[in-house]
Amino acid sequence: MVSVINTVDTSHEDMIHDAQMDYYGTRLATCSSDRSVKIFDVKNGGQILVADLRGHEGPVWQVAWAHPMYGNILASCSYDRKVIIWKEENGTWDKMYEYTGHDSSVNSVCWGPYDFGLILACGSSDGAISLVTCSGDQQWDIKKISNAHTIGCNAVSWAPSVVPGSLIDQPSGQKPNFIKRFVSGGCDNLVKLWKEEDGQWKEDQKLEAHSDWVRDVGWAPSIGLPTSTIASCSQDGRVFIWTCDDPSGNTWTAKLLHKFNDVVWHVSWSVTGNILAVSGGDNKVTLWKESADGQWACISDVNKGQGAVSSIADGATNEQ
Amino acid sequence: MSGSKPDILWSPHHADRYVICDSELGLYRIGPVGSGETKAGALPLSVETAATLLAINSDTPYMKCVAWYPKHEPECLLAVGQANGRVVLTSLGQSHNSKCKELMGKEFVPKHARQCNTLAWNPVDSNWLAAGLDKHRADFSVLIWDISSKFSPEASVAAEKIRLSSGDTDSGLVVTKPLYELGQNDACLSLCWLPRDQKLLLAGMHRNLAIFDLRNTSQKTFVNTKAIQGVTVDPHFPDRVASFFEGQVAIWDLRKFEKPVLTLTEQPKPLTKVAWCPTRMGLLATLTRDSNIIRLYDMQHTPTPIGDETEPTIIERSVQPSNSLIGSFAWHPTSQNRMVVVSAANRAMTDFTVFERISLAWSSTTSLMWACGRHLYECAEEAGVGGEGTVEKDIATKMRQRAQSRYGHDMVQVWKNHLLAGGDDPQLKSLWYTLFFMKQYTEDMEQKQQGSKQALVYSGIKNIVKSSSGTTENRRCWSGSDRQTDVPRFHSEERSLALRLCGWINRGPDINVEPFLRSLEGEGEWERAAAVALFNLDIRRAIQILNKGASAERGDLNLNVVAMALSGYTDEKSSLWREMCSSLRLQLKNPYLCVMFAFLTSELGTYDGVLYESSVAVTDRVAFACMFLNDAQLPRYMEKLTSEMKEVGNLEGILLTGLTKDGVDLMESYVDRTGDVQTASFCMLKGSPGEVVKDPRVQCWIENYRNLLDAWRFWHKRAEFDIHRSKLDPSSKPLAQVFVSCNFCGKSISYSCSAMPHQGRGFSQYGVSGSPTKSKVTSCPGCRKPLPRCALCLMNMGTPVSNCPGTGHGTGKSGEKVDLTRENKLAQFNNWFTWCHNCRHGGHAGHILSWFRDHTECPVSACTCKCMQLDTTGNLVPSDSH
């Protein structure tokens, strides 16, 4: 069972759009409509503000931490059409790179698995998805998938790195040839899978099931098996779990996790991919787990109000 | 007629007060339910809040519109627009102070009586009150009154008309001369002052939206449109205005006033209210007539100075604050996304909050963060103290706890690992005992120098019995009865080994289950002990065990009855005993009691009742099979059981598969089911150095587990894991990536120690590397020139660190016996070379570490390099060191 243990005072002046913990769970990055990105040290249940990053000229939608083997690197994306990559050096945070290649709001950023190098996927309201790769020494290489989603792309999420055909014996000593894949969701009600082939990004799959905008997608971390699992949620209130057992990655089956009464904003997989957290317009965060027979069950239902509301003067909740 | 349609106004100054106006004015205070403030007559507004009626004012009939005085003083001053066009100042629940008293009851009367549609206080010049009226011939429809003005000279002239509404009005309080008159020959339906300039008034006229500038009243900016109702300025963007007409909302940008920047989807019913959320950018709430939902338009994308060409994205949502039809609503001026809603019919009120997009993120330590509005919440799995009925913990939490208790690290008493894992999982128990027995057997074989069998034991019972040869069959007497049984038992060396792996018999040549029975008795597993005794054809012992169990369990009748039934055993095929046992055994709850009778009543050679009783531990079923199935039946049964185990991912099946490819298959479905890569990694590393470790799936589990340990900052645990792993899989040992070379001859000084490359590729990450050089060597073994000196002790490198103040470098003293050799090895770390990649200064690792505990700059004087801060992970503390 889950309960609220902590409420964090971020001192943001407007709505917070995203909060992400770093790899070690010791740092928290938040971003808000107040155009700022804040970084906190999380220690013993308390938070100390260590940086307040200003640089965006509009609401900042999402932040993403890179793997620590590349240093302390954070990407943020904003309505101002920019993606900023920040880096901590000598204890101070600075802009490392600013990407301005989108024509509209950038809604989502996600770093690829560390095996792929420093690679960032960005989804924008202009319908395009950009892949920004650090090719060493402040050189950044851009690949853009135009018109990935008509009207706009709302979310991107990378597949964990899996060596192709890992079930078949691999000639030893060879450098593994990773297949780079990610999933995106957009305003065309579609979930799309993308795959890099010979250095070019191609649409690999188009998953249709939602009847309204796809708000978020999440590729589950695969612990152990090369079975792929994706969660997608939509404005239509539905959450789907997509699975693919086929090693070639061509047959995806959808399973309806649940139909909520209101929009479903986000889905998020736990570290081992065993629990899916879902947040909806009814102000509830629900946790879901797959049972041994493949059925998804709600294991916990955390109302924001529980335990938290008493400490917040204006956060009175009401539900009908 | 009085305006029966209710409306709500929040107090501009008190966050907990609001006024509801329908036929009268009611002032309410909102507070938490059950608090001292709320009185008995409080009306519940939500689960947590209730409202108390503070005051009622019914002095002003024919109300059409109400506006609350925006300044602090006087506090509760309201302007009421009436059906005859008059505007009356009134108050609610105030102890009248002098200033307020003067204004109270003051009336502002237009020349011609017609309905007053709207009122708006100027937010800066708060004396100014704008009133919008219906059309009357060529008269003006927008009147701006100055509430501080004295009554006009013509007051007496108008006095007759005043009598129409309220007879007892003091004519001294009547004002008939407006400050400004605007909108001639027109009607005004809605008004609002523009916040960017207090002299600008936006008015929804009959067929256009007009902006009046009070500095030059002859001029107005206007745009022809039907959307002239409910003009309202976005509190976050002073240039953004919303207005509506029937079911359509128009959004205007005053900088580009020619046409609406956007029109929101048409509603089937006419709109009655449109309001911007004051606490949240770009959130517009709309209400239609006879509706129980409020529609929200989330204009996420704010207008930027760049001047947007593309249409902003709008997310539409509907909220239903209550089941009844909504009369009106009002956003709370400061509380996030909160509104009070009043029903159309009976003035039922609801306190309602519109919930925002909640973003979610898991942390590596399995706590969940989410952001909602301006707040962030963190939640974690409750550390339930093993309470009954609580949901099982997530595997990530379990793995973390198990890693902390050194699960998997007990290399000697391998079976103890199941206790380290919590000791409550029968599958893990079986697994670790199996691995323990396998290891024990291997060690025995090593002593006897019989290496050939060593590999076999890890290939599992399935393969062991397959290779069985020279099986003998014998028939033994029931002990305790002199009758010859017709139960054949099979023996072979391999079958004995299998029994040993099942834990039924100990090492040694004779097949003696007595020690096993005693240990089962010791654990109180009476039924199981009895069954094992029975399978060894010792009815007397079985009965004895049951009796013992019955007395130990305070006269468990069940056990005694079973003992009684056993003693009546007869091998007569058609006896009543046999008949009754066959039918009644199925009612026995305990599977072991059940299989005992299944065994006794079974036909020759067919033991399905025992073999396929899934509640009986796999070890016992396998041991049973090894005793009673012949060479033809046994492999078939093993095959069947193995595939069953593989399918469900039951770890007990490792007994059958061993650490083979089959075992990996089984583990794969176990991991698929549970996600427990920890057990999978440790289990596969317990076997003999074999090809299983090279299986990509095993590699994948190991890598995943190492990643988890990294993310949890269990670096010491990971190092131990890597050391353990490299013993079994030498290929996993990373090659030395850094060599210390002599400044003079350039040769690696550690070549003499190259047989012992440092472990763990992690060190290169920390910017700290070193080689375990022999402590006596203080000069380059190649050219005999001295090695550089340590920046702190100024001794040549290679000199052992004599006294390092801060050697408390977490050795994991978890109360367990501390391996002395391990401690020595760690102490050597203090002697290692370490240097900063940036300034190239360095010295003994122990010295450097203790230096940077208190300093940020390099120990070399005049060097300002902040060596430790260059390392991004250098400041992180391992979470498994204390």
User: How does pLDDT run across B522-531, given as a tens digit for each residue?
Assistant: 888 888 888 8
Q: For position B509, what pLDDT does the model report?
A: 63
Q: Which residues of chain B are within 8 Å of residue A282 when distances are taken between CB atoms? A: 355
Measured between CA atoms, the residue of chain B closest to residue A264 is B357
Over residues B662-687, the mean pLDDT reads: 85
- Provide the token pair at B806: 């801060």
B853 pLDDT tier (thresholds 50, 70, 90):
confident
- The rounded distance, in Å, linking the Cα atoms of B551 and B518 is 16
Residue B301 is nearest to which of A26, A79, A270, comparing CB atoms?
A: A79
Q: Which residue has the higher pLDDT, B557 or A183?
A: A183
Which one has a higher pLDDT value, A166 or B575?
Answer: B575
Q: Does B711 touch chain A (CB under 8 A)?
A: yes
Yes or no, beta carbons of B381 and A1 under 8 Å apart: yes
Give yes or no for residue B657 having a pLDDT over 50.
yes
d(CA A215, CA A153): 9
Mark yes or no for CB contact A268/B361 under 8 Å. Answer: yes
Chain B CB contacts of A17 below 8 Å: 357, 359, 371
Position B453 confidence tier, pLDDT thresholds 50, 70, 90:
low
Three-state secondary structure readout of B166-225 = CCCCCHHHEECCCCEEEEECCCEEEEEECCCCCCEEEEEECCEEEEEECCCCCCEEEEEC
CB contact at 8 A, A265 and A285: no
Cβ contact (<8 Å) for B711 and A24? yes
Mean pLDDT for all residues in chain A = 83
Neighbours of A6 (CB within 10 A): 17
Give the confidence band of B838 by pLDDT, cuts at 50, 70, 90.
confident
User: Whole-angstrom Cα distance, residue B699 to residue A272?
Assistant: 17
pLDDT category at B575 given cuts 50, 70, 90 is confident
Q: Is B359 within 8 Å of A265 when comparing Cβ atoms?
A: yes
Mean pLDDT of A169-179: 56
Identify the CA nearest to A69 among candidates B735, B832, B711, B768: B711
- Please tell me the predicted confidence (pLDDT) of residue B856: 81
Residue B542 has pLDDT above 70, yes or no: yes
pLDDT at B165: 45
User: What pLDDT was estimated at residue A135?
Assistant: 85
B380-B385-B387 Cα angle (round to 5):
105
Confidence of residue A203 (pLDDT cuts 50, 70, 90): very high
Checking if the pLDDT of B222 tops 70, the result is yes
Give the residue with greater pLDDT, A121 vs B298.
Answer: A121
Q: pLDDT tier at B454 (50, 70, 90 boundaries)? A: low
pLDDT at B294 over 80: yes
Residue with the larger pLDDT of the pair B276 and B537: B276
Is the pLDDT confidence value at B382 over 70? Answer: no
pLDDT at B820 (0 to 100): 46
Confidence bin at B250 (pLDDT 50/70/90)? very high
pLDDT higher than 70, residue B440: yes
* Beta-carbon pairs below 8 A across chains A and B: 278
Nearest CA in chain B to A266: B359
Tokens 């008004």 found at: B191
Please report which residue ranges of chain A form alpha helices under DSSP H.
Answer: none
Instruction: Decide if A213 contacts A235 (C-beta within 8 A).
Output: yes
Q: Is the pLDDT of residue A167 over 70?
A: no
> Which of B280, B361, B671 is the closest to A21 by Cβ?
B361
The Cβ-side half-sphere exposure at B817, using a 13 Å CA radius, reads: 5
A304 touches chain B (CB under 8 A): yes
pLDDT of residue B480: 58
pLDDT tens profile A85-107: 999 887 789 999 999 999 888 99
Instruction: Quote the percentage of chain B above a pLDDT of 90.
Output: 10
Q: What is the mean pLDDT of residues A14-24?
A: 88
Interface membership of B365 toward A (CB under 8 Å): yes
Question: In the predicted model, what is the mean pLDDT of residues B34-56?
Answer: 76
Cβ-Cβ contacts under 8 Å, A316 against chain B: 32, 46, 48-49, 335, 338, 351, 353
pLDDT of the residue at B862? 82
Those of residues 161-190 in A touching chain B at CB distance below 8 A are 163, 166-167, 169-170, 172, 187
Element (H, E) at A277: strand A275-280
- Which of residues B174 and B317 earns the better pLDDT score? B174
B389 has a pLDDT exceeding 70: no
The C-alpha of A26 sits at a distance from chain B's nearest C-alpha, in angstroms, of 8
Query: CB contact, 8 Å: A48 with chain B?
Result: no
Q: Label residue B255 by pLDDT band (50, 70, 90).
A: confident
Q: Does B357 touch chain A (CB under 8 A)?
A: yes
Q: What is the pLDDT, as a whole number, of residue B242? A: 94
pLDDT of residue A111: 95
- B737 part of contact set with chain A, CB < 8 Å: no
Q: Which two tokens stand for residue B764?
A: 């290169």
Lowest mean pLDDT among B166-175, B324-333, B618-627: B166-175
Q: Output the pLDDT for position B734.
A: 67
Q: Is it the case that residue B82 has pLDDT exceeding 80?
A: yes
Q: Which of residues 261-280 of A touch B (CB under 8 A)?
A: 262-263, 265-275, 277-280
**What pLDDT digit, counting tens, does each position of B590-603 carry?**
888 888 888 887 77
When CB atoms are compared, the residue of B355, B371, B377 closest to A282 is B355
Which of A72, A268, A279 shows the shortest C-beta gap to B872? A72
Residues 131-150 (A) with a CB less than 8 A from some CB of B: none
What does the pLDDT read at residue B784?
Answer: 77
Which residues, numbered 754 to 783 in chain B, qualify as contacts with chain A under a Cβ-Cβ cut-off of 8 Å? Answer: 765
Interstrand relation of B107-108 and B174-175 (parallel, antiparallel or unpaired): parallel
Lowest mean pLDDT among A117-131, B374-388, B460-474: B374-388
Quote the minimal CA–CA distance from A183 to chain B in Å.
18
B873 touches chain A (CB under 8 A): yes
Report pLDDT digits (tens) over B306-349.
455 555 667 777 777 877 889 999 999 988 788 999 988 888 88
Instruction: Look at B650 and A246; give whichever has higher pLDDT.
Output: B650
Measured between beta carbons, the chain B residues lying within 8 angstroms of A289 are 394
**pLDDT computed for residue B794 by the predictor:** 81
> d(Cα B569, Cα B559) in Å, to the nearest integer?
16
The shortest C-alpha distance from B764 to chain A (Å) reads 11
Residues from chain B contacting residue A108 (CB–CB below 8 Å): none
Q: Percentage of chain A surpassing pLDDT 90?
A: 43
pTM above the 0.90 mark? no
Mutation choice for B interface testing from A47, A92, A271, A320 by most B CBs within 10 A: A271
pLDDT of residue B573: 67
pLDDT band per the 50, 70, 90 thresholds, residue A289 = confident
Model confidence at B169, pLDDT cuts 50, 70, 90, reads very low
Q: Which residues of A touch B317 (CB under 8 A)?
A: 262-263, 281
* Contacts of residue B727, Cβ cutoff 8 Å, sequence gap at least 6: none
Please give the structure tokens belonging to residue A198.
Answer: 């010979």
- pLDDT, position A241: 94
* A142, β-bridge pairs: A132
Measured between alpha carbons, how far is A30 from A53 in angstroms, rounded to an integer?
10
Chain B interface test: which of A24, A28, A42 (most B C-beta within 10 Å): A24
Which one has a higher pLDDT value, B537 or B328? B328
Summarised one tens digit per residue, pLDDT across range B692-743 is 777 888 888 888 898 888 888 888 888 888 888 887 777 766 666 677 777 7
How would residue A63 be classed by pLDDT, with cut points 50, 70 and 90?
A: very high
Which chain B residues are closer than 8 Å to A272 by Cβ?
Answer: 394-396, 399, 675, 677, 708
Residues 31..60 of B with a Cβ closer than 8 Å to A: which? 32, 45-49
Question: Of the ranges A216-225, A231-240, B71-80, B344-353, which is most confident?
Answer: A231-240
Task: Out of B356, B694, B870, name the one closest to residue A15 (CB).
Answer: B356
> Is it the case that residue B193 has pLDDT exceeding 90?
yes
Contacts of A32 in chain B (CB under 8 A): 374
What percent of chain A clears pLDDT 70, i.e. is strictly above it? 85
ipTM for the predicted complex comes to: 0.81
**More confidently predicted of B877 and B766:** B877
Cα three-residue angle B151-B155-B156, rounded to 5 degrees: 140
Structure confidence at residue B55 as a pLDDT band (50, 70, 90): confident
pLDDT at B164: 44
pLDDT the model gives residue B157: 43
Distance CA B111, CA B426 (A): 93
- pLDDT above 70 covers what percent of chain B? 79
Q: What is the pLDDT of residues B773-829, one digit of tens each?
A: 444 567 777 777 777 888 888 877 777 665 444 444 433 333 334 444 444 555 567
- Kindly provide the b/e burial profile for residues A172-205, where b requires at least 16 CB atoms within 10 angstroms of the residue's own CB: eeeeeebbbbbbbbbbbbbbbbbbbeeeebeebb
Give the pLDDT mean for A100-123: 92
Looking at the predicted structure, is the pLDDT value of residue B168 above 50?
no
